[in-house]
Amino acid sequence: MVVPIFNEAGNIEAMLRRLVPVLSQNASSYEIIFVDDGSKDDSLAKLHAVSATTAHLQVISFSRNFGKEVAIAAGIDRAQGAAAIILDADLQHPPELIAEFIALWRQGYKNVYGVRADRENEAPLRRYLTDKFYKIFESFGETLLPPGAGDFRLLDRLALDALKQMPERARFTKGLYAWIGFKSVGVSFHVAERESGESKFSYRKLTRFAFDGLTSFSTLPLKVWTYLGTLVSLFAIGMATLVLFQTLIYGSDVPGYATIVISIMFFSGVQIISLGILGEYIGRIFAEVKRRPMYLIAEEFSSESAASDAVSAPERQMTHV
């Protein structure tokens, strides 16, 4: 299991209470990897506490908040199993569905994803904008995202290894899951209300994420300027011919001030937008070529080490005696 955690102190225990029984019934062995993505609340303390009482836990704690996509990547880097399941910590993803994921995986599916049956418990504006984003993403047509699929999914070892080969920093994981392919199947589920706390995704964060998604999966925003530029040039050549003949036949005239100002403003706008798009891509190239590590780990521990500490403490005393 890979569970990203950002300020989820109120959810960790409730989540484990539902998750552990499902895992012990459906898997012969398992590990739960919590990735603390620089939480500012008591999440890390809670993780320390549960690691003393719950078996098979591993915790990686980032040096700061790197974002959910990176937290998932870190969890996948660590995962040892024949498959990994990614799960939100807020119980919006029902752990009981994992039984079905595992059953489908045993039938040979390499990528089993949860599909939201509805988005009722999202703000209408967020739902509307999300919908628009997917429409735009789809119209670019380079990578097809299954509608309603998110991060709640099971990935086979083959898919995990494929994802590990993608070191990009601007990660749009939903796109990566689709890009890698493999035999996939969706399982519909009802998205529950958040157990406690609120969504960590502000509109600003979501907008950034949308740009990451579009620019890392399509070069259409770059190419469109070639077509637009060609059209504008053809139009200009047409206009030039027209004006030339008009001048030859009727002589020159001065009016046209408004047309000139409007066309200057319009085409300056077009040029600035195209520069901005170029800037988006160059910014991303810059971020990638710096080759900074994707994340930094400040602390890691596991329930095994907590358990072995408890066992080895008296032994150490013995040897001193």
Q: Which residues bind ligand UDP (CB under 6 A)?
A: 4-6, 8, 37, 65, 67-68, 71, 88-90, 92, 199-201
- Of 205 and 223, nearer to ligand UDP (C-beta) is 205
- Of 110 and 151, nearer to ligand UDP (C-beta) is 151
Closest distance between ligand UDP and the C-beta of residue 206, in Å?
9
Measured distance CA(254)–CA(257) in Å, rounded: 8
92 near Mg ion (CB under 5 A)? yes
DSSP 192: P
- Of 31 and 88, nearer to ligand UDP (C-beta) is 88
Stretch that binds Mg ion, among 58-66, 68-76, 88-96, 98-106 (CB under 5 A): 88-96
- Of 82 and 298, nearer to ligand UDP (C-beta) is 298
- Of 37 and 156, nearer to ligand UDP (C-beta) is 37
Q: In the structure encoding, which two tokens stand for residue 266, read together?
A: 């319009």
Closest distance between Mg ion and the C-beta of residue 64, in Å?
21
Q: Which of 209, 208, 145, 206 is nearest to 181 (CA)?
A: 145
- Of 90 and 156, nearer to Mg ion (C-beta) is 90
Q: Would you give the end-to-end CA distance of the chain in angstroms?
A: 42
**How far is residue 283 from each of residues 23, 67, 208, 248, 290, measured CA to CA in Å?**
43, 18, 13, 49, 11
Closest distance between ligand UDP and the C-beta of residue 37, in Å?
4
DSSP 120: T
Stretch that binds Mg ion, among 86-94, 152-160, 201-209, 239-247 (CB under 5 A): 86-94
Q: List, in sequence order, every beta strand (DSSP E) within 67-200.
A: 83-86, 111-116, 149-156, 184-189
7 near Mg ion (CB under 5 A)? no
Q: In the structure encoding, which two tokens stand for residue 28, read together?
A: 């012969």
- Of 74 and 110, nearer to ligand UDP (C-beta) is 74
Closest distance between Mg ion and the C-beta of residue 167, in Å?
27
51 near Mg ion (CB under 5 A)? no
Beta pairing, strands 184-189 & 111-116: parallel
Measured distance CA(278)–CA(235) in Å, rounded: 24
Backbone angles phi, psi at 73, to 5 degrees: -60, -40
Q: Which of 36, 44, 45 is nearest to 6 (CA)?
A: 36
* Binding-residue total with Mg ion (CB under 5 A): 3
173 near Mg ion (CB under 5 A)? no
Closest distance between ligand UDP and the C-beta of residue 217, in Å?
19
Q: In the structure encoding, which two tokens stand for residue 278, read together?
A: 């170029």
3-class DSSP assignment, residue 166: coil
Q: In the structure encoding, which two tokens stand for residue 295, read together?
A: 């994340």
37 near Mg ion (CB under 5 A)? no
Q: Choosing among ligand UDP, Mg ion, none, which partner's interface includes residue 68 (Cβ < 5 to 8 Å by kind)?
A: ligand UDP
Contact positions toward Mg ion, by CB under 5 A? Answer: 88, 90, 92
